[in-house]
């Protein structure tokens, strides 16, 4: 099994470049199925989730040309096949976007139920509610989702989401782009990647308005044309490096970011006694003195992101006092706490709240990456611990962080990546 060996105790110094946003990229690749032309996507993150999605659409018949490491051209004009490779689809959460894209393109879809990191139940009822409101007949049977638009084309509809859901908002937006008439999504999620997906679709000829607010209006069009689009920087990747510097100490300039997307993370860091200097498209994070405790509740954007919860909880393990972290999005996102305890962390979880008593130091230990963000948190813990931390199941980390270890090593971290020569295909079992 591939693993990282982290020799802790090194502060981080230097500059790091942030890659394109994973959760935007994983929606754009399936959405490219609807484009009648060549869709050129720049700033594509090089992570295993995007590889997996490209291999899924390429199995459907898409022609994919890699122009440079972060630019791809996707041409789906010759795709006539709805039969996606189910073994791959099952492993990735974002395969649910194929339902919206296939319904938009072909008027029918057959996909597996998506996989996903296990943070409790992860239903897709709101996605289905949206498709049904647009006139699709949807059946979930034996782990598969069968969807068919009555009359071969979806119709615009007014859809109120019962839960603020990133995936449902984006999936319905994708499906609505080529529906007949106007779709209105109310109680929509407002994450930066939702705005990015809308901008991507609009650059190919769609008519999506209001993304970034809680009401999105989509006027259906007959066709999407080819075009070029550059993905926004990854808010969570940037936040993860900010938290790593907060925990390990040092001074790092984080480049290629949109400071506005990081406001709530920066605000929490300042409360914790960390210096955060915002520049136009970069942020400098500096931590010399002790960390102060704070309280955090994760919420949909613009609240504090759930995808930063394991990283901030790990940094708070070193704070001078007691912090309360409450998870407001997922039922169960604290599996990693047991791993941190192996390193000497003092955390008690009660329901959705973790009570974290700061300790002077953690000690290196063998730990597992329970999922993508929990895996990043284990690496942060290892950077700060005394001795060597061995992180297993690192495929979870590699599905969402481009060159995580390389970027940290260039900042001064002491990390050895141990590749298992017998490890079969580097395909993780679950997606985020």
Contacts with ligand EPU by CB under 6 A lie at 23, 26, 93-94, 117, 122-127, 163, 165-168, 189, 306-307, 329-330, 372-373, 400, 432
Rounded CA gap, 182 and 355, in Å?
47
- Residue 205: which region, alpha, beta or left (left: phi > 0; alpha: psi -120 to 50)? left
> Counting beta carbons within 10 angstroms of the beta carbon of residue 44, is it exposed (0 to 12), middle (13 to 18) or buried (19 or more)?
buried
112's CB contacts (< 8 A; 6+ apart) are 86, 89, 90, 95, 143, 144, 145
Quick check: helix, strand or coil at residue 415? strand
205's CB contacts (< 8 A; 6+ apart) are 221, 223, 224, 225, 227
Q: Which residues are catalytic?
A: 117
- Decide: 391 and 414 in contact? Cβ < 8 Å: no
- Decide: 133 and 159 in contact? Cβ < 8 Å: yes
Rounded CA gap, 277 and 233, in Å?
18
Q: Give the rounded distance of the alpha carbon of 182 from its chain centre.
A: 29
- The minimum distance between CB 305 and ligand EPU, in angstroms, equals 6
Q: How many other CB atoms are there within 10 angstroms of residue 78's CB atom?
A: 10
Rounded CA gap, 336 and 391, in Å?
12
Closest residue to ligand EPU: CB criterion:
167
Residue 173 or 365: the one with the smaller Cβ distance to ligand EPU is 173
- The minimum distance between CB 93 and ligand EPU, in angstroms, equals 5
- Decide: 407 and 30 in contact? Cβ < 8 Å: no
Which of 302, 281, 284 shows the shortest CA–CA distance to 232? 281
Expressed in angstroms, the distance from the first to the final Cα of the chain is 20
Rounded CA gap, 97 and 27, in Å?
6
Which of 266, 317, 200, 230 shows the shortest CA–CA distance to 45? 230
Residue 330 or 334: the one with the smaller Cβ distance to ligand EPU is 330
Residue 125 or 288: the one with the smaller Cβ distance to ligand EPU is 125
Rounded CA gap, 328 and 170, in Å?
20
Rounded CA gap, 119 and 159, in Å?
26
Residue 148 or 307: the one with the smaller Cβ distance to ligand EPU is 307
Alpha helical stretches, state H, 107-191? 125-133, 166-177
């Amino acid at each position: 099994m591939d693993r990282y060996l982290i020799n802790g105790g090194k502060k981080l110094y230097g500059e790091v470049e942030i890659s394109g946003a994973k959760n935007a990229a994983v929606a754009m690749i399936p959405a490219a199925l609807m484009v009648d032309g060549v869709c050129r996507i720049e700033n594509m993150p090089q992570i295993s989730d995007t590889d997996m999605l490209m291999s899924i659409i390429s199995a459907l018949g898409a022609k994919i040309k890699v122009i440079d490491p972060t630019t791809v051209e996707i041409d789906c004009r010759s795709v006539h096949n709805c039969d996606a490779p189910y073994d791959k689809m099952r492993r990735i959460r974002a395969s649910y976007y194929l339902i919206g894209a296939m319904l938009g393109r072909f008027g029918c879809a057959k996909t597996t139920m998506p996989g996903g990191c296990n943070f409790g139940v992860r239903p897709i009822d709101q996605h289905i509610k949206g498709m049904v409101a647009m006139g699709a007949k949807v059946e979930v049977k034996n782990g598969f989702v069968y969807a068919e638009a009555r009359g071969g084309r979806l119709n615009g509809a007014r859809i109120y989401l019962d839960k603020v859901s990133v995936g449902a908002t984006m999936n319905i937006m994708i499906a609505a782009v080529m529906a007949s008439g106007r779709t209105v999504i109310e109680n929509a999620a407002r994450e930066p990647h939702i705005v990015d997906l809308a901008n991507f679709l609009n650059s190919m000829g769609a008519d999506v308005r209001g993304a970034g607010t809680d009401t999105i209006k989509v006027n259906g069009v007959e066709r999407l044309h080819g075009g070029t689009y550059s993905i926004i920087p990854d808010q969570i990747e940037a936040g993860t490096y900010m938290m790593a510097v907060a925990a390990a100490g040092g001074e790092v300039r984080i480049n290629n970011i949109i400071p506005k997307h990081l406001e709530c993370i920066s605000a929490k860091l300042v409360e914790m006694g960390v210096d955060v200097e915002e520049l136009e498209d970069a942020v400098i994070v500096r931590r010399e003195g002790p960390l102060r405790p704070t309280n955090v509740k994760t919420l949909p954007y613009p609240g504090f992101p759930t995808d930063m919860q394991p990283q901030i909880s790990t940094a708070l393990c070193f704070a001078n006092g007691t912090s309360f972290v409450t998870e407001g999005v997922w039922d169960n996102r604290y599996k990693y706490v047991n791993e941190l305890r192996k390193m000497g962390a003092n955390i008690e979880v009660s329901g959705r709240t973790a009570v974290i008593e700061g300790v002077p130091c953690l000690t290196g230990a063998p730990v597992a990456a329970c999922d993508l963000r929990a895996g990043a948190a284990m690496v942060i813990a290892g950077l700060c611990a005394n001795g060597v931390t061995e992180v297993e199941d690192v495929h979870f980390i590699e599905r969402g962080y481009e060159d995580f270890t390389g970027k940290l090593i260039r900042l001064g971290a002491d990390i050895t990546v141990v590749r298992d020569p017998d490890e079969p295909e580097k395909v993780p079992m679950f997606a985020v």
